[in-house]
């Protein structure tokens, strides 16, 4: 290592004096074969101007796009590309994603027509490495960094050595004859006066670039010929001086830190972070999106009124459809799309982080969002009551859920009579029989008249109490309703679980058609004084299948809820609103009425 160090330090000293040298006669006698003549006598430099602040990406790991997942896995790219630093995004050439140590491109069919265009990706494509199995092209970003003379520091901000300095070291005059003694791998890069000249790759760097995980397609393909000697420089990192070696190749570059070690205790070697340096220097390629194209949220995310730093307009969950408006922007290294979404009677717009969205349809599944995506006013009202209220609305017509505190469990009261009824029907279906006349009376009075004695007989004497209900709920995958073994009215449920039960009933995924018909009939003929909320706020002519519940607790505070299915012509929604901690029953009923009335006005024409 001492011989190599002496060689590379001498090389860097010579390169650092290049601006003061006249063109050596050796250069004019050199026939360059390694491509380095491309930058001979280039003097252009480019300062980094694109804001690629890590703060924009620090809160989450950016996922490898499904477009590049097969390539990433088959090429062990965790070692040779590193982590993703941008999402995949569409350009005129195709889909591209940037990583710490490079970028991948999946060409679009129309890219053939853009070969002569000024797109910055066009020149990189000519020397990229295309994977035949996936069609993915790995782009040689180093070439652009050398061409523009990037002033991004090599090795980090504590360095004074830049890509422009690395370019100086590619000068044909700096090709060296083969050393007399072995100092590593000598790779021919040209001839001078009839003799081979090239560059020496130190053994440590040679061992690195020939590893199969670092060069899965072979070092000649993944790195190509060396463009420089191994150059020595120092940088400041965490208050300490680190001694570095860097060597440039046709498609990439490597850097060795003699003062940091890897897992094996050897000096740390990595590719240069050309992905980040490229973005900082020339910025990302132009994003190409079509206005009115649909994308979908794929995780919980806030839509903002201004990209990156604005106020939240709405909060989306997974699979919610959004429509692109055609505008895009980058903020602190993150791509944002300007979008709009529709709720009945209005369109709303905002900005969504590209990391939270996908262009791949999730299929025929409902989208989910917080209640503020349906109505900001309703969300503000519910927030003023927090934590004493929760609600879930399923807009069946448009396949969208809107939620508020959807996972909070509240006391059920008489709304527990719905799962009691459904459990009973499941029991007799398994027994292969129909209800007796007595059981029909019990079911009718329990639902239509909310008779507590009828509910108790069915709960404790017929269906096996809490265990029977729990067993049935588990079989239909409703986990968030906990039946109370001693007092069924004190069972607790989330509004999401209640809406799930009612949705299964409405869509016909549980019970026989006849038993579902009976359930609907009774729930559509609730006593008038039991129709508070869902029932008495629905428009005239609508069909409502519902059940309310209320009771006061030992603290003399009231729990009140209203759940149901509202059908009005071709429009249907399912809703559950639960309250607790209310000083009077009237308070809870007023909340249920306001929420249900607002939803009816928004979802029904």
H/E stretch holding 520: helix 513-523
For residue 177, give both structure tokens: 């004859």
59 has a pLDDT exceeding 80: no
17 has a pLDDT exceeding 80: no
509: how many CB neighbours lie within 10 A of its CB?
Answer: 10
**Would you call 169 helix, strand, or coil by DSSP?**
coil
Contacts of 477 (CB under 8 A, 6+ apart): none
Average pLDDT rounded to a whole number, residues 342-363: 94
Contacts of 28 (CB under 8 A, 6+ apart): none
Q: What is the pLDDT of residue 605?
A: 85
Q: How confident is the model at residue 21 (pLDDT cuts 50, 70, 90)?
A: very low
For residue 122, give both structure tokens: 């066009």
Q: What is the pLDDT of residue 323?
A: 98
Q: What is the DSSP letter of 226?
A: B
Q: Strand runs (DSSP E) across 195-297, as ranges?
A: 195-201, 231-237, 240-248, 253-261, 267-271, 294-297
Average pLDDT rounded to a whole number, residues 219-234: 97
The count of residues in the chain is: 605
CATH class, domain 384-603, is alpha beta
Average pLDDT rounded to a whole number, residues 171-195: 92
φ, ψ of residue 12 to 5 degrees: the values are -65, -40
Q: Beta strands 253-261 and 195-201: pairing type?
A: unpaired
pTM: predicted TM-score of the whole model, two decimal places? 0.88
pLDDT tens readout for residues 576-597: 999 999 999 999 999 999 999 9
Q: What is the pLDDT of residue 15?
A: 35
Rounded CA-CA distance 110/147 in Å is 27
pLDDT tens readout for residues 96-138: 999 999 999 999 876 655 555 567 788 888 899 999 999 999 9
Residue spans of alpha helices (H) in 217-328: 219-222, 274-282
Domains of the chain by residue range: 2-39+153-272, 54-145, 294-362, 384-603
Average pLDDT rounded to a whole number, residues 237-250: 95
pLDDT tens readout for residues 453-500: 999 999 999 999 999 999 999 999 999 999 999 999 999 999 999 999
436 has a pLDDT exceeding 60: yes
Q: How confident is the model at residue 385 (pLDDT cuts 50, 70, 90)?
A: very high
14 has a pLDDT exceeding 70: no
Q: How confident is the model at residue 244 (pLDDT cuts 50, 70, 90)?
A: very high
- Provide, rounded to the nearest whole percent, the portion of the chain with pLDDT above 90: 85
Cα separation of the two ends of the chain:
80
Q: What is the pLDDT of residue 281?
A: 96
Handedness of CA 500, 501, 504, 506 (dihedral sign): negative
Q: What is the pLDDT of residue 247?
A: 98
pLDDT mean across residues, the chain: 92
Cβ atoms 283, 182 nearer than 8 A: no
């Amino acid at each position: 290592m001492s011989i190599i160090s002496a060689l590379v330090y001498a090389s860097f000293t010579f390169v650092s004096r290049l601006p003061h040298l006249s063109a050596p006669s050796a250069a004019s006698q050199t026939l360059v074969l390694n491509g380095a003549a491309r930058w001979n006598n280039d003097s252009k430099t480019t300062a980094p101007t694109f804001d690629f602040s890590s703060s924009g990406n620090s809160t989450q790991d950016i996922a490898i796009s499904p477009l590049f997942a097969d390539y990433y896995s088959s090429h062990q790219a965790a070692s040779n590309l590193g982590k993703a630093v941008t999402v995949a995004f569409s350009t005129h050439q195709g889909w591209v994603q940037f990583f710490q140590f490079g970028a991948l491109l999946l060409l679009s069919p129309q890219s053939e027509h853009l070969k002569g265009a000024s797109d910055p990706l066009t020149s990189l494509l000519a020397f990229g490495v295309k994977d035949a199995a996936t069609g993915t092209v790995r782009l040689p970003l180093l070439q652009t960094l050398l061409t523009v003379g990037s002033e991004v520091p090599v090795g980090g901000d504590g360095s004074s050595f830049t890509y422009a300095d690395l370019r100086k070291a590619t000068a044909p005059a700096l090709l060296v004859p083969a050393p007399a003694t072995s100092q590593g791998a000598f790779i021919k890069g040209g001839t001078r006066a009839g003799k081979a000249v090239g560059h020496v790759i130190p053994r440590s760097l040679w061992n690195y670039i020939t590893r199969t995980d670092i060069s899965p397609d072979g070092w000649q393909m993944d790195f190509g010929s060396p463009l420089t000697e191994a150059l020595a420089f120092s940088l400041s990192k965490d208050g300490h001086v680190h001694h570095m070696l860097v060597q440039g190749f046709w498609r990439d570059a490597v850097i060795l830190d003699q003062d940091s070690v890897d897992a094996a205790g050897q000096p740390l070697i990595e590719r240069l972070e050309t992905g980040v340096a490229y973005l900082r220097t020339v910025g990302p390629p132009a994003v190409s999106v079509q206005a009115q194209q649909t994308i979908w949220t794929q995780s919980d995310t806030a839509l903002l009124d201004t990209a990156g730093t604005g106020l939240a307009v709405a909060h989306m969950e997974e699979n919610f459809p959004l429509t692109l408006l055609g505008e895009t922007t980058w903020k602190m290294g993150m791509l944002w799309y300007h979008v709009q979404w529709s709720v009945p009677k209005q369109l709303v717009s905002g900005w969504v982080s590209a990391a939270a969205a996908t262009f791949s349809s999730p299929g025929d599944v409902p989208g989910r969002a917080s209640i503020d995506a349906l109505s900001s006013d309703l969300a503000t009202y519910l927030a003023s009551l927090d934590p004493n209220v929760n609600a879930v609305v399923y807009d069946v017509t448009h396949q969208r859920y809107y939620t508020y505190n959807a996972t909070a469990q509240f006391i059920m009261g008489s709304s527990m009579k719905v799962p009691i009824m459904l459990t009973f029907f499941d029991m007799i279906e398994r027994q292969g029989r129909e209800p007796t006349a007595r059981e029909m009376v019990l079911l009718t009075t329990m639902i239509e008249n909310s008779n507590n004695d009828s509910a108790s007989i069915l709960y404790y004497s017929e269906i096996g109490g809490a265990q029977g209900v729990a067993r049935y709920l588990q079989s239909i995958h409703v986990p968030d309703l906990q039946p109370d073994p001693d007092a069924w009215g004190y069972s607790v449920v989330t509004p999401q679980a209640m809406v799930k039960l009612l949705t299964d009933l409405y869509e016909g995924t549980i019970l026989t058609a006849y038993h579902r018909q009976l359930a609907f009939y009774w729930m559509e003929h609730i006593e008038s004084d039991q129709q508070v909320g869902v029932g008495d706020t629905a428009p005239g002519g609508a069909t409502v299948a519902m059940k309310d519940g209320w009771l006061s607790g030992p603290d003399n505070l009231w729990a009140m809820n209203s759940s149901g299915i509202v059908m009005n012509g071709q429009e249907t929604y399912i809703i559950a609103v639960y309250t607790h901690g209310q000083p009077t029953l009237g308070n809870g009923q007023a909340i249920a009425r306001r929420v249900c009335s607002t939803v009816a006005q928004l979802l029904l024409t």
